[in-house]
Structure 1
Amino acid sequence: MDTHGQDERRVVWAVVGTGIGPLLLAATRDGLVNVVFHVTDAVRERALEGLSARLGAEPVEDPGSPLLAEAIRQLEEYFAGRRQAFELPLDWSLISGFNRQVLRELASGVPYGTVVGYGDLAGRVGRPAGAQAVGAAMGANPLPVVVPCHRVVESDGGIGGFGGGLETKRKLLALEGVLPEPLF
């Protein structure tokens, strides 16, 4: 049996409680590959089935794997206000093309406590008229929070959309000091 081949395709996952609800984290040997919001049993099963189909490996629950343990530690620090940047290897295999280009620029070029407009981000990747395409890339982000799509807002000051829901986006922006804390 070729255990090395299995290790190469191994996908591990864990669910972690956060200030915005439970997140499912999944990783491959290359890095964190997926973060999923609002994890219920049904959401978890759907996410794991999708990962299995896309990555060709049955995900295994393993919160003690070194990469997941480190991701959990860094997320806990982030939600406690003690971490402003994630230092994790990322596996970009769930996203490609323009979407990957936009998300890489977002990850490296929009620091904690700042926001960028959809159009501005489009301009940074050479598509100044691509604000809607940037919006689609944000919606396709397989690594929310770690790749901070919550920091992308409308140029007129509107909060914009968010796959995790607007309340979650507001909480993340408040955590980073961009918005005031919600009153209730």
Structure 2
Amino acid sequence: MSSVEILNMGSRVTRLIRNFNVENRAHREISKARPKPAPRHPSASGFPQEDIAATSISEEVQQRNDPLLSMLKDVYVESKDPVSQAEAVPVVKKVEQKTQRRALKYSLPGDPYGFCDVTDVPKGRLSLVEALTALNNHKRLPKTWTPEKLAQEYSLDPKDAKALTDFFFPFDVKIIPPKTEETKQIKDS
């Protein structure tokens, strides 16, 4: 048997199963009792009594009621938004941070990448150039440039300076020396 004959035989079997007893199944579905539909909402039925009630209410709303109007004129409302303490505190901190700034210790010469626009930074912060300089100084002379000295030099929190020296490392460039004749090389056999 070829593969085409096998496929045709398979499609015949599936067609037989699909069409088996179709007529009886269809009659069974048709003869089932339909469920009773849910009752409609009274407003959807559109009774004329409701329309009359709605129009009378809308007329009543549109009429001027002088006693209610005179009582409304006696009412006076004054409203102020209270300033919560949680909102007031951050404003003060922002003002203090703006006044407590320090001049840059190091900057790049010229105007590369727009870094020259920055002339000072808030205390407790570092510019990119200062951070790289501080990390490089600590890497070259760790006994001289301790985290305490870096904190003092750049107005940092001591634990921030300690974290800076522990977790950040400047790029480490390693230069591989050129090959010499003395080095042994594996040769293909």
TM-score, scaled relative to structure 1: 0.22
Q: Compare relative contact order (CA 8 Å, sep 6+) and give the higher one, 1 or 2.
A: 1
Higher helix share: 2
Larger radius of gyration: 2
Higher strand share: 1
TM-score, scaled relative to structure 2: 0.21
